[in-house]
């Protein structure tokens, strides 16, 4: 094995380690958030449209987050790791830029809270809009603080602060939906509040706001960085790099949330649309495990690639990084689909289950998005971020067109296929354009073998769905084991695994 190969393997191990650390925080955090899905779907009647409100408002929060961070997370990594830049000044400038935009946004929203609420269909609850404006502004500001932790390789504090939001948020949600109703007899005022805010749905938003605000106190050390100063010339250069990322982020998030934001405005009956949106949103939660994998990979990969070491962003490392992302992305897809008879119970009210047919489509869309993210570094590293805006814009146009044309007839199934087509378009464009601008020898043949194997296993799974659940799960477990066995034999031999590999090597030595 050559020096270059050894270096690439060391880089991949470093990336895997960081991905695992951030992945643990994401997995634990997302698991705790998953506890809200059975809680919400148990207490929120699908016919009330309450979960549709939750789905729509959080979709708006995701869109606003992208607007208010305007690409400054990636921009911060890019400039902080340039040798000619003052790292502390880059950090302080980024904080001030995002903070100032957030304050301006809040001023505009609260000056026009009534008209905005009316337009969104929340005339009776403008407080929902104001609440999410505050949440989005604080989340955006905290994004730079969290980026600082990633840039300084402080995953433990990163994870602790993520948990500091998630655990209280889950516990307070349990209080709102399970304990609070038990107190109505003793405290009748609580019942009035509960009913006023859509039978607890609105209280979920206030809980989120409280927990987000409390996390800010965990960043006292990082907040001192805002005093490092503000460099006007640096800010202009950072904004010049960031604005295409803003466009990229906007069209990217539109691919994720446009269907949820526009759904009730596209269908003929907005009330029924709210109900259908709730069903769609609840079932999409099951598919979000791939979004979790992509997020964990992104948390580790961005500071890894932008770290300034050419070996880390070598074409060989990126090619292998892509390969293993696809391998484990497919494994996640198969795992969710094969154990859907169990995972569907996360959605506790069976009236929501009619929407489970969107799960495989949404998961494939998430896989396409993850691959697209992996393909995006050719234009980020060459400071040609406008390419990302163009490609994502085309993908968003495809997705929006499918939604507008087909949602009135096919409902939320068109939403799922719109995301699939939109991200698929982005992925293909980025690959073919990237290969012309910055060719990377991706191991397409190796990845194709995993795709083919997964397709065969999925066909077997599909025809076994008519069996009793116990038999189906046994067969599906065997199918998963086949995939894992192929992975261990082909690309991840047991001797290379941490802990287990050491025991394997020791046993081999003893036997010899």
- pLDDT tens digits, the chain, 512 residues: what are they? 454 455 555 555 555 555 555 556 656 666 666 678 788 888 887 767 788 888 888 889 989 999 999 888 888 888 887 777 788 888 899 999 999 999 999 999 999 999 999 988 888 889 999 999 999 999 999 999 988 888 887 877 888 888 888 889 989 999 999 899 999 988 889 889 988 888 888 899 999 999 999 999 999 888 887 878 888 898 898 888 888 778 777 877 887 788 888 888 888 777 788 788 888 888 888 877 777 766 666 666 655 555 545 554 467 777 887 888 899 889 989 998 999 888 888 787 778 888 889 999 999 998 998 888 888 877 777 777 778 778 888 888 999 999 999 988 888 899 899 989 998 998 999 899 988 888 888 889 999 999 999 999 999 998 888 888 889 999 999 999 999 999 998 877 655 555 445 544 555 444 44
pLDDT of 244 reads: 77
Q: Which residue has 């060719």 as its token pair?
A: 439
Give the C-alpha separation, 348 to 351, whole Å: 9
The whole-angstrom distance between residue 230's C-alpha and the CA centroid of its chain comes to 31
* Residue 431 tokens, joined: 């690959």
Q: Which DSSP string corresponds to 100-142?
A: HHHHHHHHHHHHSHHHHHHHHT-TT-HHHHHHHHHHHHHHHHH
CB 288 within 8 A of CB 26: no
Give the C-alpha separation, 30 to 26, whole Å: 6
How many residues appear in the chain? Answer: 512
* DSSP for residue 309: -
State the sign of the Cα–Cα–Cα–Cα dihedral 470, 471, 475, 481. positive
CA dihedral 20, 23, 29, 34 (to 10 degrees): -120
* Residue 437 tokens, joined: 């601008």
Tally: H helices and E strands in the chain: 23, 0
> Cα Rg for the chain, rounded, in angstroms?
24
201-215 helix and 155-174 helix, angle to the nearest 10 degrees: 150
Give the C-alpha separation, 292 to 285, whole Å: 11
What's this model's pTM, rounded to 2 decimal places? 0.73
The whole-angstrom distance between residue 95's C-alpha and the CA centroid of its chain comes to 23
pLDDT of 263 reads: 85
CB 323 within 8 A of CB 449: no
pLDDT of 279 reads: 86
Give the C-alpha separation, 198 to 278, whole Å: 14
CB 433 within 8 A of CB 390: no
Buried b (16+ CB within 10 A) or exposed e, 9-46: eebbebbbebbebbbebbbebbebbbebbbbbbebbeb
């Amino acid at each position: 094995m050559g020096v270059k190969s050894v270096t690439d393997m060391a880089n991949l191990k470093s990336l895997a380690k960081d991905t695992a650390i951030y992945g643990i925080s994401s997995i634990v955090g997302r698991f705790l958030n998953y506890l809200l899905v059975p809680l919400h779907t148990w207490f929120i009647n699908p016919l009330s449209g309450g979960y549709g409100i939750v789905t729509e408002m959080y979709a708006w929060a995701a869109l606003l987050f992208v607007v208010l961070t305007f690409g400054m997370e990636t921009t911060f990594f890019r400039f902080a790791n340039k040798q000619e830049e003052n790292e502390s000044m880059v950090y302080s400038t980024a904080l001030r830029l995002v903070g100032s935009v957030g304050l301006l946004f809040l001023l505009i929203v609260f000056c026009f809270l009534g008209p905005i609420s009316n337009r969104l269909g929340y005339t009776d609850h403008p407080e929902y809009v104001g609440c999410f404006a505050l949440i989005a502004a604080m989340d955006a500001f905290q994004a730079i603080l969290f980026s600082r932790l990633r840039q300084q390789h402080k995953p433990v504090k990163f994870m602790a602060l993520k948990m500091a939001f998630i655990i209280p948020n889950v516990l307070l949600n349990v209080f709102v939906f399970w304990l609070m109703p038990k107190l109505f007899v003793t405290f009748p005022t609580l019942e009035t509040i509960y009913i006023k805010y859509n039978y607890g749905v609105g209280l979920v938003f206030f809980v989120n706001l409280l927990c987000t605000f409390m996390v800010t106190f965990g960043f006292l050390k990082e907040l001192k960085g805002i005093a490092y100063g503000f460099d006007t010339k640096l800010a202009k250069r950072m904004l010049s790099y960031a604005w295409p990322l803003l466009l990229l982020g906007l069209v990217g998030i539109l691919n994720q949330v446009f269907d949820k934001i526009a759904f009730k405005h596209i269908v003929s009956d907005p009330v029924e649309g709210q109900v259908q949106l709730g069903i769609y949103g609840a079932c999409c939660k099951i598919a979000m495990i791939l979004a979790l994998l992509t997020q964990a990979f992104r948390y580790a990969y961005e500071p890894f690639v932008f770290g300034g070491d050419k070996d880390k962003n070598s074409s060989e490392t990126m090619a292998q990084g892509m390969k293993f992302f696809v391998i484990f992305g497919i494994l996640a897809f198969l795992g969710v689909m094969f154990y859907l008879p169990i995972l569907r119970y996360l959605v506790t009210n069976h009236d929501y289950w009619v929407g489970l047919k969107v799960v495989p489509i949404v998961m494939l869309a998430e896989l396409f998005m993850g691959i697209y993210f992996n393909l995006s570094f050719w234009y980020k590293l060459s400071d040609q971020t406008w390419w990302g805006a163009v490609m994502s814009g085309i993908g968003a146009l495809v997705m929006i067109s499918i939604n507008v044309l087909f949602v009135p007839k096919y409902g939320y199934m068109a939403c799922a296929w719109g995301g699939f087509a939109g991200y698929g378009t982005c992925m293909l464009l980025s690959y073919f354009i990237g290969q012309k601008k910055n060719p990377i020898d991706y191991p397409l043949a190796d990845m194709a073998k995993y795709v083919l194997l997964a397709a065969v296993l999925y066909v077997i799974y599909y025809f076994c769905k008519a069996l009793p659940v116990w038999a189906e799960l046994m067969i599906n477990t065997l199918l998963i084991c086949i995939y894992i066995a192929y992975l261990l034999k082909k690309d991840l031999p047991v001797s290379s695994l941490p802990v287990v590999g050491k025991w394997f090597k020791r046993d081999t030595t003893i036997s010899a």
